[in-house]
Amino acid sequence: MLKSFFLKGANTAVSRWVVLLIDVSIVLQMFFLSYLIRFNFVLNFENQHFIFQIPVIATVALISFLIVGSYKGTIRHTGIRDAINIFYGVTILLIIMVLIILIHREFGILDRFAPPLSVVIPHFLLNLIVLIASRFVFKGLVSRIVTDYKPSKNILIYGAGDSGMLTYAAIINDLNNNANIVGFIDDDKKKKGKKYNRVKVYSSEQITKEIIEDLNIKEIIVSIHNIKPFVLFEIVDKLIPLPVKVKVVPPVDQWIDGDLNVGQLTEVKIEDLLNRTPIKINNPILQKELDGKVILITGAAGSIGSEIAHQVGNYKYKQLILLDQAESDLYNVQQSFHRKKFKNFAVEVADISNTKRMASIFSNYKIDIIFHAAAYKHVPLMEDNPYEAVRVNVFGTRTVMDLASKNRVEKFVMVSTDKAVNPTNVMGATKRVAEVYANCLNNEGRTKFITTRFGNVLGSNGSVIPLFKKQIAEGGPIQVTHKEITRYFMTISEACSLVLEAGVMGKGGEIYVFDMGESVKIFDLAKKMIHLSGLKYPDDIDIKIIGLRPGEKLYEELLSNEENTVPTYNEKIMIAKVDPVDYKVMKNKIIELSKLDNMDKFEIVTKMKSIVTEYISNNSEYESLDVKVSTEESNQTSSKVRNLH
């Protein structure tokens, strides 16, 4: 009954009236106490007047509390605002009672209802103290009852070292956390079976579904100092099939004032489970390269472009130009720059395929470095809209490149994609065409053209992980195109750091590729995301195979068959060496491709295939073009054989 009253009744409409009645009763008790104080705790005051004054005090108190709404606060969430409302209520009560006293003294009426002023003042102070104190006493009482009645949550801590012990201390010392630590997990054979703080140490092999159910474990907290990503991956990969939530302790440098707060324990994110070591960039030359420069970032409103912009914002550039055609997203980046107090930046809303507009921007700024992130990148959309793909990814990029070369820009760093390697879709082919054009111009002028390639970026617009999260939130199913499809992943921060690094080390003409770690099977990724959401596959959330989308590959590549790599001073970054081409011929072909007005989509794709000979369409209406080319090549070969005979 007591639990039911505090846990349920405290938040209902009925409890508000209960609080109001309790407040009024406290006011009456304090009124009696004020009389006792005034008359030295002797009951020799005028009882008849006192009895008449009680309903007046009760009525005025009731009206005062109704006016300010001091009774409306929830007991468990009592705070300063509630104390202020009580102050307002008892002040109104004081003012009304003083007015009654003044009326009595001035006009000689209301004598029965006018208490002595020497009673009213102490009454005000007592009301203020007791009403506020009672709120916090009730809050503490409810908190204690809630804690006592709340079922304890059994927890295992993975790691019986220093970090595990600190985590143990943080949890048991947190009064708001009703957790019961029933054991440690550690693979150190010397620790197995021992007890630390009277808590048993288990080995990871002992942690089975049966022992989890026997011990009623709800959470496992991974607490290992400076844990490596691949170690975390291995640990969590073992724990995911178990019916528990998995949380991880943040790095020590993120602890608040050197102490671990239980609120900092976070559930493992899918990004932690991609089995790859993040690439670290620490290049002192980068600051020297960017300081004092005028830098243009195209596609600055996109996920990659905006991150590049924010990273560049930390350097001492001369001026930073943020360019994009997406007005709303660009506005958000602008506001972020204002909040971070970045200075000397300009925002330009422009379409990179608008030659006159882009020429005017180059004439307004003496640009030193360009980071080119503007592009269309969604494979299925671009497969249906090759005109737009070529207009932006080829013609738009060519426009910016030509202006960069004409205006003697020092460096042009282009963000490309792994889909440009042996492309099977329009989007990948347009990016490969842009790469080729960059190499064409690199042989002509002063500007150094540099290309960076990487795979899927976590959290970027269109990334599979936020899409899966949304599908899980909607109750599923998660839609996967193929059970065997794999992808490479890296974080936005990493990708953009690498783009900046390429801008420093590039001498012109390079295509940089990065160590993306192991490719990830998307079907397995979907299952892990379901488990991390506290749900079960396929009982709670199912996975539906919907088939490859137009132009989609099963496996992405970072290097084509004709390419090889050479190392750089950073072992995670390599340079792809491509076979030489006739740049003059290629440049003319790309310029011809850019003349889109009189071409249908099949003509556009045909011209791209003549430039990117390794472009073989997959699961696309353009596969017929490859069959035609293959037939023509076969006929030519047969004709040559006949001529030889």
Alpha carbons 159 and 225: distance in angstroms, whole number: 9
Alpha carbons 310 and 20: distance in angstroms, whole number: 53
DSSP class of residue 253? Answer: G
Give the closest residue to 345 by CA, choosing from 300, 287, 288.
300
Alpha carbons 143 and 413: distance in angstroms, whole number: 58
Q: Facing residues of 511 across strands? A: 451, 576
Torsions phi, psi for 296 (to 5 deg) = -105, 130
Distances (CA, A) of 545 to 274, 370, 476, 556: 22, 41, 12, 19
Alpha carbons 195 and 197: distance in angstroms, whole number: 6
Q: Is 499 exposed, middle or buried (0-12, 13-18, 19+ CB in 10 A)?
A: buried
Torsions phi, psi for 191 (to 5 deg) = -95, -20
Q: Facing residues of 284 across strands? A: none
Q: Facing residues of 573 across strands? A: 514
Alpha carbons 77 and 255: distance in angstroms, whole number: 27
**DSSP symbols for 271-293:** GGGS--PPPP---HHHHHHHTT-
Contacts of 534 (CB under 8 A, 6+ apart): 245
Q: What is the largest CA-CA distance in the chain?
A: 139
DSSP class of residue 554? Answer: S
Cβ–Cβ contacts within 10 Å for residue 219, how many?
17
Alpha carbons 460 and 5: distance in angstroms, whole number: 48
Q: Is 1 exposed, middle or buried (0-12, 13-18, 19+ CB in 10 A)?
A: exposed
Contact yes or no for 162/191 (Cβ under 8 A) = no
Alpha carbons 210 and 526: distance in angstroms, whole number: 25
Active-site hit among 245, 419, 527, 553? 419
Instruction: State which H helix or E strand residue 77 sits in.
Output: none
Strands 245-248 and 217-222 turn out to be: parallel
Contact yes or no for 324/302 (Cβ under 8 A) = yes
Amino acid identity at 180: N
Question: Does the annotation count 406 as an active-site position?
Answer: no
Catalytic residues: 419
